[in-house]
Amino acid sequence: MNKSEYRSFIKNRMGERRYIHSVNVSKSAIELAKRYDADVEKAEIAGILHDCCKEIPKDEMLQIIKSGGIILDAAEKSSSKLWHAIAGSVYVRDNLGILDEDIINSIRFHTTGRANMSLLEKIIFTADFISAERDYNDVDVMREKAFNDLDDAMLYGLQFTISDLTNRKLPIHNNAIHCYNDILCNLEKKGLL
Ligand code: DGI
Ligand code: FE
Ligand code: FE
């Protein structure tokens, strides 16, 4: 498939709002890739595909995850919001012929993050927070950070997600905690804390 085929495929798999979000994440990912000298083409593809399994039934998500040979840990089992990212990574590999590990991992870890993320993984995680239709209170702060320092933007996003989860008494996945600690470490090394 080429990029416009990915787009029309995605359009048919989700509602209008989610499709607009996917296109916008793709556009933000392109901008970030240019800013940080990453592979623009991979950023565009990972962006458009990142939520490809967001609007399918939960039992299908679980079935795709299983078919990909992935065993969910306890935290993942209890947090269905995490399933679309894991299922998406299997789906693009096994159904859309995406072979690139970095694209696959960017999709798999776009919701929780993880320690030692690649540049592309950070770009997709961050693009998801700054896409054009996002309108939460501090989105302008987040956008500025995103183009200034990716780790700083990631920290801001993680603080937002983690405090929201604790306020709602929801579990925080280990990957999110490891991501948070890793990003703090990077920022400290850069003298940005
Ligand atoms: O798919 P999107 O809506 O564009 O965004 P997303 O993939 O970042 O999903 C956000 C949802 O995932 C939001 O409801 C919070 C949830 N989430 C993110 N990190 C964690 C989490 N849920 C749990 N339980 N644990 C996490 O670490
Ligand atoms: Fe998502
Ligand atoms: Fe998203």
Structure confidence by residue, pLDDT tens digits, 83-109:
999 999 999 999 999 999 999 999 999
pLDDT averages per 10-residue partition of the chain, 193 residues: 94 98 98 98 98 98 98 94 98 97 98 98 98 96 98 98 97 97 97 92
Residue closest by Cα to atom 6 of ligand 1: 111
Q: What is the pLDDT of residue 26?
A: 98
Q: What is the pLDDT of residue 60?
A: 98
Q: What is the pLDDT of residue 152?
A: 98
| Residues near ligand 1 (Cβ within 6 A) | 51, 54, 79, 81-82, 85, 110-112, 128, 161, 165, 170-173, 176
Residue closest by Cα to atom 16 of ligand 1: 81
Report helix angle 40-49 to 101-108, nearest 10: 40
Q: What is the pLDDT of residue 96?
A: 97
Residue type, 67: S
